[in-house]
Amino acid sequence: MAPPSLLRALAWLLLPAAADASFASEPSSHFDCRVTEVEAMPRLGPQGKSAELTRFTCQVRGGLLDGFVATGTNIWGGKQQDGQLLGSMVVARKANSVVVYEVRQVTRQPRPRGAAGRDWEGRGSGVYKLATGTAAPLAGRSFRSVARSAGPRAFTIDTVASD
């Protein structure tokens, strides 16, 4: 049998690998999205400034939402590129399954010019308010996401469920 100090050292080396494997096994999904409508909303934003309502639709691949189509609405204080997210609700559907989720927090950063056509990147978190059918295990769970612009009126979202 190996000495205890060797076993402890081996455990410390293997622990990070096990943690990485468990993170990789968390449900994750990739959304390819298009903005379908943008509406200016004067004096609705913070301090009476303008706000912008955007509606979008996404095709989803991977995780428990694989094959879903999502439609959502965001309200930005200011313009989407430089604004503060005031609210976001999304409904995703697939035969006999529905998911409703809310994005609660987004931190956006502008990207340098020429960064693969991406003007901005945002990191967010939210909660799956309702999930039925094949996505039922998501109900009540939180998620983390990274959204990136993908050209005019297009963006992607990579989401990982947590909890």
For 25-39, what is the mean pLDDT? Answer: 88
Q: Are 157 and 145 in contact (CB under 8 A)?
A: yes
CA 18, CA 24: separation in Å to the nearest integer?
Answer: 10
Does residue 21 carry a pLDDT above 60? Answer: no
- Burial of residue 101 (CB within 10 Å: 0-12, 13-18, 19+) is buried
Domain at 28-161: CATH code? 2.40.350
Mean pLDDT check: name the lowest of 89-93, 104-108, 157-161: 104-108
> Taking the domains of the chain in order of start, what are their residue ranges?
28-161
Beta strand extents in 42-141 (DSSP E only): 51-61, 69-77, 84-94, 97-110, 120-131
Q: What is the pLDDT of residue 8?
A: 38
End-to-end CA distance of the chain: 38
Q: How many CB atoms lie within 10 A of CB 3?
A: 8
pLDDT band at 80 (very low <50, low <70, confident <90, very high): low
Computed over every residue of the chain, the mean pLDDT equals 81
pLDDT band at 115 (very low <50, low <70, confident <90, very high): low
